[in-house]
Structure 1
């Protein structure tokens, strides 16, 4: 007699313990980095609106580097093309981990977050396109409202002192990981300058060598550090945004452990670079990208010009509706059963929280509108849209925080102090 098929765990139900531990470690660093990011954004806004704004611009536009290698960049460009590569390297490692052992490892578990993320990118872009077209504006910024900034979102949750269950945080993290991949594909495909095929060919040769070193189990930063910098420089000179190199190397790094390893190369690299990415690279980018002059006229421009208005509507309305409707339809199509302890209102709150675009949205805004004058209203729209989405999510999340607190306490209670939450021991006993 055939065994009965194992019942699938409910959508947003209790995570397996190893997955919960990995998610908690990743989000802890992101939360701290998000708080630093908030501070950097506030400093940039204040600095750009004081009598010392010209000093801010001089520092941001100061050039240095190695002209002979095509790397004579401003500080603003170093943070966007250089430091953000660390952010996308860590994102690439996290995506690889999700594909190998996380929520994206099987079609059944990947369907919901992937569909939600894709609809959460398509709908905001559509909102922008319709708004810009109706107002006779430029369609160049269609990709700006597609992004989700997981660090900023988690910082909002930290400020609110919420107790989201691990499954909700994991769903948000997976959404952001797929979103980051979508963002980097958009950057690679649609925002490339004149291609230098010789440099690009050399960059791909470097990536192949990187792959071989991983396959041959070669260890040592002295191999990968110089090679990674060379790949980054070649990718930049090849005409493709240099952050693509970060994602490519992150996807190549091995995330499964050999028998003699305590950590895989991907885990070691992530543990080393994640604090630098979240606490230094992203905040420095924000410091030199979020410095927007704010005035009554500039605020009026955000809501009267089609391009910035499209960004605001895309982040606040498009992102929320896209993720929520995509998740709801995917759940109905796959017959996924929502955790009975939660409601669709919780998915709606997370969808609103994902409307915080900030870091990647600012980056795409700079690429879509290279003229600083044209970019200013779009940057202001990213800030206003992200703050509006954060405020809406705060209201929705706080309404449900009593439920979240109870679920959080249940899944973290450890009365026997053995380091394993009691709920997992009860689950094991039930299965036996």
Structure 2
């Protein structure tokens, strides 16, 4: 990996972008020329109008559809159509999850405020309050009371994580310690009653997800919180650019390190050959789908989709090969996922059972030619993307690494 010298004249810095607007040519002719021709406000508007808000809008609509599918499933419990209706509800969850996994790359503004509260209300994986199945079990029981208010429950008992557990887990027994009062009589209930109560709470979770999605839509709307105006305002250019660039590092911290690094044992946080218990989406076993959507969202966030994006800054700075490298490694990662049939959870469990890390290490180090363990090869490919992000991207766009990405542990 080459290291691009930071003080080269053609590097576009945010300072250059802004100073060009007021005619300051002290940064050099090449930089000023590029800066003067770059529509920075248009780039921010593209992200807001075509990348961020549309995903929130789609997710909100999908959550509303999910509530309807779950209601149909609840009504079918005990009938011949129960399995079919449950499968339809599960499919709608997958649709929502795919949309949100792309939106995860755009955690800026209202979704990031108050410790990512807006985001965590929808998905609490990798948060300070991670998913907790016992908390969900408690909420299932408490939701039977007319006074129950889901908004008062912690994020680790709500959101897409909780809905996955409720819709995909076939084990109807609770997961709480014996001293938890709410669930002490749960296992003695009939199978039908337990299915019904879990389904009732699933409806409440789906509606809560719709509300959380709508809150994000409203926060950007001109008739609501109007965050869009702040986001595209030239006086907030540095804040908006830094927020977007920081958000891109989800692909490193969450996708590479947590979703791949921990289950494969590559990340330092796993002290064994592998840690399958760290697998994201263990009940649906859709982690590879999640990573695919992360990569698609990352590509849009980097390239601006069909509009202005970071790739335009990089290309106009004279480094089109950096954009090509990103696309090459993203395509390779997506192809590997498409050709992998075994779930990440199953591969992690098999790796742990083998007791040997050598094959995983080889697959990660040489991901194109050694795909003996696909999830290890995928980690190696995604690491190439994040290496380019940490070095080439940071240098050319002239931004700092996010605080959480100051070190790399693998």
Given the two structures, how large is their TM-score scaled by the length of structure 1?
A: 0.28
Kindly indicate whether structure 1 or structure 2 has the higher relative contact order, using CA contacts under 8 Å at least 6 residues apart. 1
Higher-Rg structure is 2
Higher fraction of helix: 1
